[in-house]
Amino acid sequence: MANKMINKEYAVKVRNLSKDFKTKIRGEGLKEALKSVLKPHYKIIKAVHAISFEVKRGELVAFIGPNGAGKSTTLKMLSGILYPDTGEIRVLNYNPTKDRKKMAYRIGTVFGQKSQLWFHLPAIDSFNLFAKIYEINGKEYQTRLSGLVKRFELEEIMQQPVRKLSLGQRMKCELVLALLHGPDILFLDEPTIGLDVVAKRSIRELIKEINEKENVTIILTSHDMTDIEKICKRAIIINKGVIVYDGSIKELKREYVKKKTIKVLAEGEIRITAEKGVNVLKKSVYGAKIEIDGNKTSLKNVVAKIMKQNEVVDITIEEPPIEEIIENIYRK
Amino acid sequence: MTFTKYYAIAKTNFINSFTYIFDTLASTFFIGIVIFIFIYLWKAIYASNEIIAGFTIVMMLWYLVMTEAIVTSQSRVLQEIGEEVISGNIANYLTKPYNYLLYKYAYTIGRAILRFLLIFIVCGIIVLLMLGPLTIALYVLPFIMITAFLAITLHFLMMASFALFALWFENAQALEFIYSKIVFTIGGMLIPLELFPAWISGISMFLPFSYVAYHPAKLFVAFSFQNFIQVATMQIVWVTVFLLIAIIMYKTYIKRLQINGG
């Protein structure tokens, strides 16, 4: 019966969403502190300013933004924690603040930094408790649980107290916990934080798998750019309360990767000068790291010049890591 | 449907509390030491009198066992809730399909029942060995359990209400301290209210704090059915009052959080 309300096409629709915060401002010192108690002054911070975007059902979207950029504010409005000032939000066709209780049954959350499993108990106890909390029907629960346990390979793990599990095993259990009630949308915040490379890969694969198999819409926030690259196809970048990029991650790299980094090691003293489109990032006696802006100069020419002016021992040409790409977007 | 989920939460935390039972036993041990010291203190006081304010020494110490069990079974709950209020972490509960206050209550009760039993048994054994048993009819016990349960519930609701004040205080520890000292003194946790000057005990007997410690413990050591009716009724009244206060404060706080982000 809840399914009737759920929009078949869109998981999230946001139009002209704005949110301001009032904070107290006060000057330094004792006098100002007293003044601020008697006659408080407020400053209005525009956290989110008229943003609009849509997420289709089954999409894998990354939400990127520096701290204080409006990213968490937006996500809190999506989950019904904060009231928007103006604008419209629909999540699974619910109004997050009005239908918060109903919506709770259809969304799942995983916080990499905050476990929802009971630490001293085996994961299965947490699963069983969640089944009661989300009012999952007994038989349905057993089928769902065994399916997830099989896919995540938790047979042996789930009987052990969570505190005995490795971080990777714990994160798998966190994911299962969030999926038990078959949510339509999953909010993942830093799902691979603290994990080793192998565990990270495993978690990323599982996330992609469940997205594919169950058509769960996934909204990912992470400071780990590899998470974002490997899992998501689309990125929404928020900075200073506005959306500065909304598109595919491939496009993001292509459009902003007109920059290349060149590392050179020469036999003698290195001869490199900054010029138009060439930025010397680091320079020592025999080596240098430079950045080339493909918009202002040609890679071919710069490399040719370096090879001509130096006895090059080693040269590496790289794309800047996606962090830098994003940072450049932030700086705009 | 809804009751099942909160019952499940309470049960899970009850089982969960077993897993770190040694921690609990350690703190119970220290309460036992307090009882031990008080036994000697009261022995000295009772050297010249067999009955003080209607209490024999046996009654006095069993009174203390009961108040300790009720009150310390929920130590630090005010601080826990207060910290969630101040940090705004309560917001995380908003995305879950349960009510925060009910969740907190179920969670706390699960742990409190285990702690109550442990404290009562450990301290009871100490008093039993050093002074002797309490004269009490077995049929009285279910009534005592009712008032003890109501006392624990009232204790929780008062702490939750106080903790929601943390919003204006920025420091949950101070509130925990104030509340616990009030219960300690005019709640009758340490000594029965009869031992206070008449004007203090007169007022305190009507205040909600005494329905957490004094009244249920007095009933335990000196049961009368009439007294049970009076105590249970007043406990229900105060539970209702603080339930309303907690709900109103919680709703106000959440509204504020949703508008201003805390």
CB atoms within 10 A of CB B131: 18
Task: Look at residue A256 in the predicted model and tell me its pLDDT.
Answer: 66
Which chain B residue has its CA at the smallest distance from A115's CA?
A: B92
End-to-end CA distance of chain B: 32
Closest CA to A109 of A217, A263, A244, A267: A217
Q: Which residues of B touch A132 (CB under 8 A)?
A: 4-5, 8
Closest CA to B156 of B64, B51, B75: B75
**Model confidence pLDDT, tens digit, residues A2-53:** 444 455 788 899 999 999 888 777 777 777 777 777 777 788 888 899 999 9
Task: Assess contact for A115 and A126: CB atoms under 8 A.
Answer: no
Positions in chain A short of pLDDT 70: 1-7, 255-257, 321-322, 332
Residue contact B94–A81, C-beta within 8 A? yes
Residue contact B19–A107, C-beta within 8 A? no
CB atoms within 10 A of CB A267: 10
Give ipTM to 2 decimals.
0.88
Report the DSSP beta bridge partners of residue A266.
Answer: A312
**Angle, alpha carbons A76-A213-A97 (nearest 5°):** 20
Positions in chain B short of pLDDT 50: none
CB-based contact, B16 to chain A, within 8 Å: yes
Task: Look at residue A297 in the predicted model and tell me its pLDDT.
Answer: 84
Smallest Cα distance from B8 to chain A, Å: 6
Task: Look at residue A172 in the predicted model and tell me its pLDDT.
Answer: 95
Task: Look at residue B224 in the predicted model and tell me its pLDDT.
Answer: 94
Q: Which residues of A touch B16 (CB under 8 A)?
A: 118, 120-121
Q: Which residues of A touch B19 (CB under 8 A)?
A: 120-121, 161
Among the partner residues B16, B92, B258, nearest to A118 by beta-carbon distance: B16
Among the partner residues B1, B20, B259, nearest to A83 by beta-carbon distance: B259
CB contacts < 8 A, A to B, total 61
Could you give all domains of chain A from N- to C-terminal order, each with its CATH number?
2-106+183-253 (3.40.50.300), 257-331 (3.30.70)
Among the partner residues B1, B5, B16, nearest to A120 by beta-carbon distance: B16
Task: Look at residue A107 in the predicted model and tell me its pLDDT.
Answer: 95
Task: Look at residue A276 in the predicted model and tell me its pLDDT.
Answer: 85
Residue contact A135–B97, C-beta within 8 A? yes
C-alpha separations of B259 from A21, B94, B246 in Å: 8, 14, 20
Q: Which residues of B touch A133 (CB under 8 A)?
A: 5, 8-9, 96-98
Smallest Cα distance from B20 to chain A, Å: 8
**Residue whose tokens read 């335990």:** B220
CB-based contact, A76 to chain B, within 8 Å: yes
Task: Assess contact for B92 and B100: CB atoms under 8 A.
Answer: no
B contact residues 45-104, partner A, Cβ 8 Å cutoff: 91-92, 94-98
CA atoms within 13 A on the CB side of A136: 23
CB-based contact, A80 to chain B, within 8 Å: yes
Task: Provide CB contacts within 8 A for B257, sequence distance 6+.
Answer: A81, B88, B90, B91
| Whole-angstrom distance, CA of residue A71 vs CA of residue A61 | 13
Reduced 3-state DSSP string for chain A:
CHHHCCCCCEEEEEEEEEEEEEEEECCCHHHHHHHHHHCCEEEEEEEEEEEEEEEECCCEEEEECCCCCCHHHHHHHHCCCCCCCEEEEEECCECCCCCHHHHHCCEEEEECCECCCCCCCEHHHHHHHHHHHCCCCHHHHHHHHHHHHHHHCCCCHHHCEHHHCCHHHHHHHHHHHHHCCCCCEEEEECCCCCCCHHHHHHHHHHHHHHHHHHCCEEEEECCCHHHHHHHCCEEEEEECCEEEEEEEHHHHHHHHCCEEEEEEEECCCCCCCCECCEEEEEECCCEEEEEEECCCCCHHHHHHHHHHHCCEEEEEEECCCHHHHHHHHHHC
Residue contact A81–B258, C-beta within 8 A? yes
Among the partner residues B12, B91, B260, nearest to A21 by beta-carbon distance: B260
- How far, in whole angstroms, is CA B191 from its chain's centroid? 15
Task: Assess contact for A192 and A220: CB atoms under 8 A.
Answer: no
Task: Look at residue B256 in the predicted model and tell me its pLDDT.
Answer: 86
Task: Look at residue A135 in the predicted model and tell me its pLDDT.
Answer: 94
**Residue whose tokens read 């130590």:** B75
Task: Look at residue B1 in the predicted model and tell me its pLDDT.
Answer: 59
Task: Look at residue A279 in the predicted model and tell me its pLDDT.
Answer: 86
Q: In what order do the strands lie in the sheet with A41-56?
A: A41-56, A10-25, A86-91
Among the partner residues B1, B257, B260, nearest to A135 by beta-carbon distance: B1
Residue contact A129–B8, C-beta within 8 A? yes
Kindly report the pTM of this predicted structure.
0.85
Length of chain A: 332
Which chain A residue has its CA at the smallest distance from B91's CA?
A: A81
Residue contact B15–A121, C-beta within 8 A? yes
Task: Look at residue A299 in the predicted model and tell me its pLDDT.
Answer: 84
| Whole-angstrom distance, CA of residue A231 vs CA of residue A60 | 7
| Whole-angstrom distance, CA of residue B61 vs CA of residue B122 | 13
Which chain A residue has its CA at the smallest distance from B94's CA?
A: A81
Alpha helices by DSSP H, A84-241: 100-104, 123-133, 138-152, 167-179, 197-214, 225-231
**Residue whose tokens read 């409190």:** B112
